[in-house]
């Protein structure tokens, strides 16, 4: 009741599937800008997202980190809509930069800086037992100072109870890991790491790396690009509820293959990428291991925020 009177709602900034987003500011400080995200409860409910979204908002409110969007306040308006007051991030998202191949030029040092920010944000989520579950370039927003922040925590959920059965119908298809495509009910932070790997790959080649137009095709493209999940490389995989792979199986790609496509990331960058795209989630690199990798201290050093490329 109190909270909604602290903010003034301004012009519409954009529209998403489940929300309209407005610019806003503090009543007491008109220069303190915020983004007010008005969730379309009706639309969200028919998709079964609302109960989750509301219950899990507390996670975002508790996660305070430079690479995670801050949730300043939550209130409901008289139309019963749920309003999220978020940090205002005016410089767009990584998808805009990736797609603007004419206007935006960037290199290995810039990618390393963005991956560092993404890695630290994901590490902090996992350290606090929160899965993001929808990491993709369009959910990585850019602050005025160039900092990249994980946003759109609608699907975020705690994994502190590992035996809680979770739905596998999460994560935008292109960024969805094989364990979810095979219908695994128990999963871990490794789901986010797979998505981070695909963001890394996309930053390098500037086009989505594994872009299936159905779940079946997504699995088939993973087999081609990475290798076929089998009992040899991933014990237990064939027992997953929706396990099916195309014949004949493709061997898991080696470093030569990755160097040919992603060589601009350097040897150590390619090692990190390969660690993220390991099929067996138990063997996939963790957020902590990513941050401890020697890639960060090898050349080139990550670009400083103020020197990062921006949208035109
Ligand atoms: P989508 O993820 O489908 O883009 P969202 O509902 O998350 O939908 O956001 C809709 C649009 O609102 C975004 O494309 C972006 O332009 C804008 N937007 C969202 N969050 C913020 C924010 N924190 N600061 C500034 N603009 C935002």
Nearest CA to 85 out of 192, 2, 146 is that of 2
Closest CA to 85 of 94, 97, 77, 95: 77
Tell me the Ramachandran region of residue 146: left when phi exceeds 0, alpha when psi lies from -120 to 50, beta otherwise. Answer: left
pLDDT value at residue 162: 43
Report which of 134, 147, 245, 152 is spatially closest to residue 195, judged by C-alpha positions: 134
Nearest-CA residue for atom 13 of ligand 1: 14
DSSP assignment letter at 175: G
pLDDT digits (tens, 9 = 90+) for 157-208: 544 444 445 555 556 899 999 999 999 998 899 999 999 999 999 999 999 9
- What local confidence, expressed as pLDDT, does residue 182 receive? 97
**Beta strands at 148-150 and 140-142: parallel, antiparallel or unpaired:** antiparallel
CA of 135 relative to ligand 1 center, distance in Å = 14
Does ligand 1 come within 6 angstroms of the Cβ of 33?
no
39 within 8 A of 53, measured Cβ to Cβ: yes
ipTM of the complex: 0.95
> Is the pLDDT confidence value at 104 over 90?
yes
Compute the distance from residue 167 Cα to the ligand 1 centre, in Å: 25
Query: How much helix, strand and coil, in percent to the nearest 5, is found in the chain?
Result: 40, 15, 45
Contact 97, 106 (CB under 8 A): yes
Name every residue whose Cβ is closer than 8 Å to that of residue 159 and which is 6 or more positions away in sequence. 129, 130, 131, 166, 187, 188, 189
**Where is average pLDDT lowest: 138-152, 165-179, 282-296?**
165-179
pLDDT at residue 164 in the model: 45
Q: List pLDDT tens digits, range 41-95.
A: 665 565 555 555 555 676 778 899 999 999 998 887 767 678 889 999 999 999 9
Specify the pTM.
Answer: 0.92
């Amino acid at each position: 009741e109190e909270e909604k009177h602290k903010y003034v709602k301004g012009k519409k900034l954009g529209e998403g599937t489940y929300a309209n987003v407005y610019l806003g500011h503090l009543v007491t400080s008109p220069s303190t800008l915020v983004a007010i995200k008005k969730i379309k409860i009706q639309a969200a409910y028919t998709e079964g997202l609302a109960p989750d979204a509301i219950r899990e908002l507390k996670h975002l409110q508790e996660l305070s980190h430079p690479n995670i969007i801050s949730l300043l306040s939550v209130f409901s308006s008289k139309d019963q809509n749920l309003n999220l007051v978020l940090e205002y991030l005016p410089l767009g998202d990584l998808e805009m930069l990736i797609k603007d191949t004419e206007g935006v030029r960037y290199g290995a040092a810039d990618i390393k800086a963005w991956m560092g920010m993404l890695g630290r944000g994901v590490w902090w989520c996992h350290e606090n037992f929160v899965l993001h579950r929808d990491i993709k370039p369009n959910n990585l927003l850019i602050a005025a100072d160039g900092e990249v922040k994980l946003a759109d925590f609608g699907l975020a959920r705690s994994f502190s109870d590992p035996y809680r059965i979770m739905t596998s119908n999460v994560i935008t298809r292109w960024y969805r890991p094989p364990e979810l495509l095979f219908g695994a009910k128990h999963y871990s932070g490794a789901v986010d790491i797979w998505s981070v790997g695909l963001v890394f790959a996309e930053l390098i080649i500037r086009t989505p790396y594994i872009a299936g137009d159905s779940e079946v095709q997504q699995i088939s493209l993973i087999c081609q690009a990475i290798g076929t999940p089998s009992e040899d490389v991933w014990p237990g995989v064939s027992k997953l509820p929706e396990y099916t792979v195309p014949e004949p199986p493709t061997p898991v790609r080696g470093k030569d293959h990755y160097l040919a496509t992603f060589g601009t990331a350097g040897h150590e960058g390619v090692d990190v990428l390969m660690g993220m795209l390991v099929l067996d989630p138990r063997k996939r690199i963790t957020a902590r291991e990513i941050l401890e990798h020697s890639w960060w201290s090898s050349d080139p050093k990550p670009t400083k925020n103020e020197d990062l490329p921006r949208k035109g």
